[in-house]
Structure 1
Amino acid sequence: MHALTRGFIVLVSGLLLVACDPAEVYEKNIDLTSPAGDPYVWAVQNKPTFEFEITDPAPRYDVFLNVRNTADYSYYNLYARVTLTGPDGQIISRKLHDMNLMDPKTGEPLGNGSGDIFDHRILALPNQEFSQPGTYRVQLEQYMRQDQLPGVMAVGVRVGRREAGK
């Protein structure tokens, strides 16, 4: 077999193994635009909502926030309010998160980057208990002091079963 073909097969197999995370229950990201249609702007009135199904309430779960920003993002951090609502419509949790997207002292971008785009996965609700099976909802709101927040490309939520021993 040709070395290039063999290398391609190994690469694709590795990507498939990484993509299939057995602990993952849900993950979705939403691209952001301003009300005028400008890309990469998180408007204060834009409150992305993510719905996911919990079929097994026995284990504990970790809920992460995903943020993708450009190098043009003007702040080192991002304040976001996270509201978790249960299947019965009752609010389970409402927290304000201060997420560092850049080092506050050096200004160096944090997260995983490629060029001028950076991805962050931030643990928002660790060891979360879901008391009943059903559809849960997470709503995200940007809480910066700016109605139109440029440089935020996308936000999302990831829910995964908590690993034993953590």
Structure 2
Amino acid sequence: MLKLFRLLPAFGLAFTLLLTACDQNQVYEKNIDFDKYTWSVRQKPAFTFDIADTTQRYDVYFNIRNASDYGYYNLYVKHTLTDPANKQVSQLLHQMLLMDAQTGEPRGKGTGDIYDHQFLALPNQKFQRAGTYKIVLEQYMRQDQLPGLMAVGVRVAKAAAPQP
């Protein structure tokens, strides 16, 4: 039975990958797991993705996986986005609500005590140059170690056409 519980995160990841594999608008998606389910302030996961079409608008999402024993209802994450010439395009602090502040009920999709969230961080993003972009994420919670955070990721997808 214990082995089954250890496999649940893998099944959740496989299910998520299966769902996103069918998405024609997806340009990039990658998630990075944290050792011991803890995000250290020193860990700054970096994600690189290629943009070929500069006429297209893109939505950039942040993926968060947390256990129910994560100690806060929110998570502050700072991103730094750089272009192919390594020039900073944007830097912003994001607050993501993982649980309802009043009730403590988890948000996101969950199996057991594990919850997956996808937050639209940079909507309708315009990339000026074709090439490889890099986005670095930093936890900004004023705590060196954040137990209960299992993984973080980035997803880039073509933005939906504006409605007339």
TM-score by length of 1: 0.86
User: For residues 162 and 57 of structure 2, what CA distance do their matches in structure 1 show?
Assistant: 11
User: For residues 33 and 21 of structure 2, what CA distance do their matches in structure 1 show?
Assistant: 20
Does the 8 A contact of 2:20 with 2:26 survive in 1? no
Aligned AA (2:86): G
- For residue 79 of structure 2, the aligned residue among 78, 82, 92 is 82
Alignment: residue pair count: 147
What residue number does 1:29 align with?
Answer: 31
Alignment deviations for residues 103-161 of structure 1 (CA, whole Å, 9 cap, x no partner) = 00000000001100000000000010001100000100000011010000000000000
Seq. identity, %: 60
Gaps of 5+ in 1: 1-14, 34-38
Give secondary structure in 2 for the equivalent of 1:136: strand
- C-alpha spacing 1:75/1:91, structure 2 compared with 1 (3 Å): same
Give secondary structure in 2 for the equivalent of 1:46: coil
Give secondary structure in 2 for the equivalent of 1:56: coil
- C-alpha spacing 1:106/1:17, structure 2 compared with 1 (3 Å): closer
User: For residues 57 and 123 of structure 1, what CA distance do their matches in structure 2 show?
Assistant: 20
What residue number does 1:151 align with?
Answer: 148
What RMSD in Å do the two structures reach over aligned CA positions? 1.3
The answer to whether 1:118 aligns with 2:115 is: yes
User: For residues 27 and 60 of structure 1, what CA distance do their matches in structure 2 show?
Assistant: 16
User: For residues 140 and 92 of structure 1, what CA distance do their matches in structure 2 show?
Assistant: 14
The answer to whether 1:43 aligns with 2:40 is: yes
What residue number does 1:95 align with?
Answer: 92
Runs of 4+ residues deviating >2 angstroms: 15-19
What residue number does 1:105 align with?
Answer: 102
Alignment deviations for residues 71-120 of structure 1 (CA, whole Å, 9 cap, x no partner) = 01000000000111100111000000000000000000000011000000
